[in-house]
Amino acid sequence: MVILTVGLNHTTAPVEIRERLHISDRQLPAVLERLGQEPAVLERMVLSTCNRVEVYAVTQDPAQAEAAIPELLAEGTQTPLALFADRLYRHHQEAAVRHAFRVAASLDSMVLGESEILGQVKTAYQVALAQEATGPILNALMTRTLGVAKKVRTETGIGESPVSVPSAAVELAKKIFGELSGRRVLILGAGEMAELAARHLRGEGVQAVLVAHRQFDRAVELAARLEGRAVRFDQIREELREADIVVSSTAAPHYLLHRADMEELIRLRRNRPLFLIDIAVPRDVDPAVNEIDNIYLYDIDDLEGVASVHRLERQQEAAHAELLIEREVASFMRWLKSLDVVPTIVTLRRRLEEIRETELAKALDRLPNLNPEQQAVVRTLAHGIINKVLHYPTTELKRQSVNRDGLLYVNVLRRLFGLQDDDR
């Protein structure tokens, strides 16, 4: 029995190919169904996100399964196999287990440490589970995978600091103001990035969002989208006195806010802190404003700088995560090995032979007058019983081992005969 992963991701295939192979939630049951009709595939699960399409399978015939899965993917998504065949990677056993752990722990993600993937893996597993597409091995693998991913998040700092520009802005705002609920945000201009930053801040519970634009109708438009209020551009002096966070992204060719004005402003504000986010290019705020006490000015490069430092931190944390995952892979492989049929049969036979030898020794002890021929008969008798008893279970176990239920038999046998600790 072999665990197999076949798939492609953002490193092996461009988005044009990934989007064609994407399997929507609606298509997923049909694809799982179709994979189930392939006799070589005993257990199966499909993970399809915008950055990867992967099939996890358990098979007794890896060569056949490896050949069949891409064809089924091509058929299921109506994409010619030739378009993506050379983009596929295939992982077996240990490598497949490691891959599953790394994917769920977000070590294989485009944005290292992002948290979305864990939810996507969980959903993919639940869909497969509901359709009874998984079996004991994939169930065990997925349970472990989700556990490992959680462990990586709590024990390393991989998801700790924000790595995108808008989320870095939110983090900085929290370092200045603590809780953001009840704070006022003023937006100058109407860039896409400004809107994104405003949405992030809204998500943190800021109380009011005000939008000012030289064209008032555009301010009204953006304010409507952000559930905020539009203000006239000539009123921004007054609004600046009340705001806590200002996001500036106007198309002005010169500085809009100068040092002298801002010094006056902070005096009028009685030193209430002000966070200025200047994402306009060319910039709206004179960089010297940052030198004023209680004003914190970040331009687009500063925010990008903060985000990139955090990306570096995540890479360092990823090294810890890899170590943790290696330990978990080794532990999972030990468990998997204990489920093999052959070692189970060998252990069972050894157990019965031990019993035979002990009982024989006792019996022969009590019959001191037997001649060698009689002794040989007794021995053969004992031998024969063991062999006869073992014959049927052995063949049945081997036969079942290629089926999905094989594991169940192995488990029951190990439990019934107390073989759990024998091969440690």
Partner 1 sequence: MDVTFFFGALVLYVVGTVAYLLLLSVKGTRLSRLATAATTGGFILHTLALLVRLVAAGRLPPRNTYEALSVFAWATVLVYLGLEFRFQRKVMGAFILPIVLLTTTAAASLPKGPAGLNPALTSTWVWMHVTLILLGNAALALTCGVGLMYLLQERQLKSKSLGAISHRLPSLDFLDGLSHRTLLVGFPLLTAGLITGALQAQAAWGRFLTWDPTQALSLITWVMYAGLLQARLTAGWRGRKAALLAIVGFGSLLVAFVGVSVLLGHPHAGN
Residues contributing to the site for partner 1 (CB under 8 A): 157, 160-161, 172, 174-178, 270-273, 290, 293-294, 296, 298, 302, 305-306, 309, 313
Question: Are 216 and 230 contacting, i.e. CB atoms less than 8 angstroms apart?
Answer: yes
Nearest CB to partner 1, comparing residues 87 and 153? 153
Nearest CB to partner 1, comparing residues 74 and 324? 324
Minimum gap (Å) between residue 306 Cβ and partner 1: 6
Helices 372-400/341-366 angle, 10° precision: 160
Angle CA 109–114–120, to nearest 5: 75
CA-closest candidate to residue 276, choices 341, 255, 268, 146:
255
Q: What whole-number distance in Å separates Cα of residue 360 and Cα of residue 376?
A: 11
Q: What whole-number distance in Å separates Cα of residue 328 and Cα of residue 147?
A: 10
Phi, psi (rounded to 5 degrees) for 233: -65, -30
Question: Are 13 and 103 contacting, i.e. CB atoms less than 8 angstroms apart?
Answer: no
Nearest CB to partner 1, comparing residues 23 and 266? 266
Active site residue 376: no
- Could you say which of 11, 25, 33, 50 is catalytic? 50
Minimum gap (Å) between residue 176 Cβ and partner 1: 5
Minimum gap (Å) between residue 90 Cβ and partner 1: 37
A 10 A CB-CB count for 146 gives 17
Nearest CB to partner 1, comparing residues 143 and 271? 271
Nearest CB to partner 1, comparing residues 270 and 362? 270
Question: How far are the Cα atoms of 160, 186, 270, 358 from residue 167, in angstroms, in the given order?
Answer: 12, 17, 29, 71
Minimum gap (Å) between residue 254 Cβ and partner 1: 23
Nearest CB to partner 1, comparing residues 143 and 294? 294
Minimum gap (Å) between residue 175 Cβ and partner 1: 5
A 10 A CB-CB count for 402 gives 14
Question: Are 35 and 133 contacting, i.e. CB atoms less than 8 angstroms apart?
Answer: yes
Question: Are 5 and 54 contacting, i.e. CB atoms less than 8 angstroms apart?
Answer: yes
Minimum gap (Å) between residue 63 Cβ and partner 1: 46
Question: How far are the Cα atoms of 123, 355, 374, 387 from residue 363, in angstroms, in the given order?
Answer: 61, 12, 12, 19
List residues with catalytic annotation: 50
